[in-house]
Chains A and B, each alone.
Chain A
Amino acid sequence: MNVTLDGETVVKLQPVFGYLHRNHEKIAEGNSWLAAVPYTDRLDYICPLTNNWAYTLAVETLAGLEVPERAEYIRIITAELTRLQNHVAFMGFILADMGAWGSALMYAFREREKILDLFEALTGARMMCNYMRFGGCRCDLPSGWLESAGQLVEGFPAFLDEMEALLTGNEILLARLQGVAPLTPERAINGGLSGPILRAAGVDYDIRKVDNYGLYSRFKFRVPRGRVGDCYDRFMIRVLEARESVEILKQALVGIPDGPVVNPKAKQRGFRPPAGEAYGRIEGPKGELGFYLISDGSDRPYRFRVRPPSLINLTLLEELCLGTKIADVMVILGSIDIVLGEVDR
Chain B
Amino acid sequence: MNFPGIGLLKGFVVTARNFLGSYVEKDRLTTRQYPEERPKLPENSRSFPFLVFDGEDPEAGMRCVACKICEKECPPQCIYIIQDRDAAGKPLKRPRIFDIDISVCMSCQICVEVCPFESIRMDTDYELSSFDRFGSLVLDKSKLLKSNAYYHGIHPTEASETDARIEADRKKKEAAAAAKAEAARKATAEKAAKAAHPPEETK
Which residues from chain A sit less than 8 Å from chain B, CB to CB? Answer: 27, 31-32, 34-39, 103, 107, 110, 113, 117, 120-125, 128, 130, 138-139, 142, 162, 165-174, 268-269
Contact = CB atoms under 8 A, between A and B. Distances in A.
Contacts of B113: 138, 268-269
B109 A169 contact: no
A123 B10 contact: no
24 contacts: A32-B73, A35-B73, A38-B75, A103-B18, A107-B18, A117-B42, A120-B41, A120-B44, A121-B42, A121-B43, A121-B45, A124-B44, A124-B122, A125-B46, A125-B107, A128-B107, A165-B10, A165-B11, A168-B7, A169-B2, A171-B5, A173-B7, A269-B69, A269-B114
A329 B108 CA distance: 38
A170 B30 contact: no
B106 A38 contact: yes
A138 B6 CA distance: 50
Contact of A34 (B41, B42, B73): B73
Contacts of B4: 171
B2 A125 contact: no
A208 to B, nearest CB: 28
Nearest to A170: B7
A301 to B, nearest CB: 13
How many interface residues does chain B have, given as a range?
Answer: 20 to 34
Contacts of B122: 124
A31 B114 CA distance: 15
Interface in B90-123: 106-110, 113-114, 122
Contacts of A122: 44
B13 interface: yes
A142 B73 contact: no
B17 to A, nearest CB: 8
B10 A128 contact: no
A169 B9 CA distance: 9
Interface string B60-82: 00000000010001110000000
Given A113-B30, A165-B13, A269-B69, A174 B110 contact: no
A138 B110 CA distance: 10
A269 B108 contact: no
A169 B14 contact: no
Nearest to A126: B45
Interface in B32-49: 41-46
B75 A39 contact: yes
B15 interface: yes
B14 A162 contact: yes
A293 to B, nearest CB: 17
Given A120-B41, A125-B45, A142-B42, A35 B10 contact: no
A120 B45 contact: yes
Most buried by A among B4, B10, B75: B75
Contacts of A124: 44-46, 109, 122
Most buried by A among B28, B42, B73: B42
B14 A166 contact: yes
Nearest to B14: A166
Most buried by B among A27, A120, A122, A173: A120
Contacts of A142: 42-44, 157
A169 B2 CA distance: 9
Contacts of A125: 45-46, 107
Contacts of A170: 7-8, 10-11
A135 to B, nearest CB: 14
B108 A128 contact: yes
Contacts of A171: 4-5, 7-8
Which 8 pairs show the lowest CB-CB distances between chains A and B?
A169-B7, A38-B108, A121-B42, A35-B75, A124-B46, A166-B14, A124-B44, A170-B7
Nearest to A162: B14
B44 A31 contact: no
Nearest to A269: B114
B14 A38 contact: no
Given A121-B44, A138-B113, A169 B10 contact: yes
